[in-house]
A and B are shown apart, each in its own frame.
Chain A
């Protein structure tokens, strides 16, 4: 049943209320870390190295939201929940928004738009290379996140394209892992969650396919 991964907005499960409060609530809640960063930057309470602190919080927020967006389909496969699918696109776009501010702060504040230094970082620092690759993969996904894009590409191609979200998240986790000096607990935790989410998809799909085949043989 391939149609199960259809984008939330194109389906409207019968007999369920549309939960009009869900999207605005999630979007407003996801803006908390950005708002808190802005307040603390304004009041000078981001600590001794405010640029590093801002970069880290924005990057982590992007990763958290990306993982959350990838948890929506497994949540339906495992628990039959459909409400996460309604906010999947918003979670993905919020992740890209945080990643974009993260990259912007890096380029403008951290590197003072010194293109030579940035090019050297991307080419020579493996952790930056991974982050940049993750970011580059996220951009076409944000661009094709509309219903019109789903129609234009056709659902199967759109879906194949959007599987890149897993690659982007894996690269972001790698970016995090390679950045850390010694205590790799947190990046490994995110990597493990990603692996588990992917495993749920693969296992459920496989067992369904087997189930279908057997039914056919019967």
Chain B
């Protein structure tokens, strides 16, 4: 009874062999786990963040022609989790992860420069001066991707009319908040802060130019530039200054951030122009977020009605 039948005893050679196999298997698994974790740490990425849950904005006018496009909307999730807002980090998902630290109330905005009524006004008060309407616009990023976004806002021209720029005002300059306390990206000098954008006066007064205070029927998410941002649909997305704290009317052309950082890559106009490619991206086509294929990019992003603004200017300089 004390000894097993002969044929059940594992021969020593086979036993050692099995032990060797087991040991090698464990070592291989351990190596795979170590190499796999290391590689995942170096090249992998966390799953995308969730879309924000925000209160609805009441009492706005629904989108109507000519301020809407008959194209599928980009999902709320994609609109709110895929953003370029370097004040919150350079990764597309950083703004959605980090922008919760932005405090949008109170939000004083300084309006000054060549203007009859310079003033400081809170964003909420300012927005209250105007009727908010919905506008469904294409948004074309200079990185050759695009979205269709249902914005809520009011025409910039209404604001301009209200503050009465002087005859000297040739441009409008928009400055974004640059507070390292609330905006982790500002702690790194990836751009010369604060972010500055600008428009020629006639561009700013074009009925398409919008100051947005919301999207998808809700309050503007922080990562999209709350509480107040610029939307100029015929220009590349970077022209749309976010979280604006200053609106200044000037005689000289504003020194806009990207045009200062890389003048050969980004112009002041930055009109969507499939004929002028960027050194990193062909601008002839774009990927609509949510689609896999590419579609041709349209001159002025499909807003040909603005072409009159640029009569007599060499179209090759309009990038």
Given A48-B48, A49-B287, the answer on whether A126 and B82 have CB atoms closer than 8 Å is no
Q: For A51, give its contact among B24, B40, B287 (CB under 8 Å).
A: B287
Contact A29 B36 (CB under 8 A): yes
Asked whether any CB of chain B lies closer than 8 Å to the CB of A207, the reply is no
Query: Chain B's nearest CB lies how many Å from the CB of A35?
Result: 9
Q: Which of A6-14, A165-173, A177-185, A195-203 contacts B (4 or more CB under 8 A)?
A: A177-185
Bound Cα distance A215, B52 (Å)? 72
Contact B43 A25 (CB under 8 A): no
Q: For B39, give its contact among A30, A46, A47, A182 (CB under 8 Å).
A: A30
Q: How many B residues touch A, CB cutoff 8 Å?
A: 50
Contact A117 B45 (CB under 8 A): no
Query: Chain B's nearest CB lies how many Å from the CB of A28?
Result: 4
Contact B31 A124 (CB under 8 A): no
Residues of chain B within 8 A of A52, CB atoms compared = 145
Asked whether any CB of chain B lies closer than 8 Å to the CB of A161, the reply is no
Q: How many A residues touch B, CB cutoff 8 Å?
A: 41
Q: Which of B25, B28, B90, B279 has the most chain A CB within a 10 Å cutoff? A: B28
Given A33-B44, A112-B294, A125-B282, the answer on whether A20 and B24 have CB atoms closer than 8 Å is yes
What 0/1 pattern do residues 11 to 51 of A give for CB contact below 8 A with B? Answer: 00000000011101110111111001000100001111101
Asked whether any CB of chain B lies closer than 8 Å to the CB of A109, the reply is yes
What 0/1 pattern do residues 106 to 147 of A give for CB contact below 8 A with B? Answer: 000101100001001100111100000000000000000000
Contact B92 A117 (CB under 8 A): no
Contact A57 B293 (CB under 8 A): no
Contact residues, B15-38 vs A (CB, 8 A) = 23-38
Contact B279 A21 (CB under 8 A): no
Contact B86 A182 (CB under 8 A): yes
Bound Cα distance A121, B279 (Å)? 9
Contact A29 B42 (CB under 8 A): no
Given A21-B25, A125-B279, the answer on whether A36 and B35 have CB atoms closer than 8 Å is no
Contact B292 A51 (CB under 8 A): yes
Contact B28 A28 (CB under 8 A): yes
Given A48-B78, A49-B82, A183-B190, the answer on whether A29 and B43 have CB atoms closer than 8 Å is no
Given A48-B78, A112-B294, A183-B188, the answer on whether A22 and B31 have CB atoms closer than 8 Å is yes
Q: Which of B37, B86, B280, B294 has the most chain A CB within a 10 Å cutoff? A: B280
Bound Cα distance A54, B74 (Å)? 20
Bound Cα distance A108, B147 (Å)? 22
Residues of chain B within 8 A of A124, CB atoms compared = 277, 279, 282
Contact A182 B191 (CB under 8 A): yes
Q: For B280, give its contact among A48, A57, A127 (CB under 8 Å).
A: A127
Contact A64 B289 (CB under 8 A): no
Asked whether any CB of chain B lies closer than 8 Å to the CB of A60, the reply is yes
Given A29-B31, A109-B292, the answer on whether A57 and B44 have CB atoms closer than 8 Å is yes
Residues of chain B within 8 A of A178, CB atoms compared = 280
Leading 6 A-B pairs by shortest Cβ distance: A29-B35, A25-B31, A32-B36, A48-B82, A21-B27, A28-B32
Give 26 A-B contacts (CB < 8 Å), ordered by A residue: A25-B27, A25-B35, A26-B35, A28-B28, A28-B31, A29-B32, A29-B35, A29-B36, A29-B37, A32-B35, A32-B39, A36-B40, A47-B48, A47-B81, A47-B82, A47-B93, A48-B92, A48-B290, A117-B284, A120-B282, A125-B281, A181-B280, A182-B190, A182-B191, A182-B261, A183-B190
* B residues whose Cβ falls under 8 Å from a Cβ of A: 23-40, 42-45, 47-48, 77-78, 81-82, 86, 90, 92-93, 145, 188, 190-191, 261, 277, 279-282, 284-285, 287, 289-290, 292-294
